[in-house]
Chains A and B, each alone.
Chain A
């Protein structure tokens, strides 16, 4: 399991726009860089990120080798009701990691 840093508000008022910040530990090997032996290292990147909240996909990203190592992504969403926010990263070599955080919504 790769380490993740998440900045998600634990609670919000209904209708409030909250900012989500995510960072995951991953080398994002581009596939263009030679290693110590001079051979080009094979590509190993995260290709897809999705955020699902309150039964719907609220944000999705397609990543490329131009994204820096340890991909940082920040986006916004409307807090509608108390529900889990499911973050999922998928990538090369079968990488698949899911993190879930509850957002409590109360007036």
Chain B
């Protein structure tokens, strides 16, 4: 059975665009996004699933991209922070993070926003406890979390009022 490590072709629909690339055996979705596709919003924090900075959406679900072997999700649809804005126009969550000073060093922000996007897709009118639970896998060492929770609640209200497409 032993054979030299061979790369494999994987196809993903990333932020709406089909992308094809080679992955080394056991390569993670995070590595593919950052190193193959040049999408560096998702961050490599712990590599253990403890920090949430690599959070992206796969088929609409928030996942820890550092823990997904990318060859096992061939043909899936992936959304990253790069796909959230509409051109140069920030979406409600991004705008609320900016307005509410929910970003300090910024390392956790991409993961936080993707966890928030997953929550708001499933629950457009979340309570504070829902928001806290949704981001409980995302570590922030700067803000103390309250501005982040506030921003996500603000984004939910604005999206409900503004009619997000």
Partners in one complex: no
Q: Which residues of B are at the interface with A, using a C-beta cutoff of 8 A? A: none
Q: Which residues of A are at the interface with B, using a C-beta cutoff of 8 A? A: none
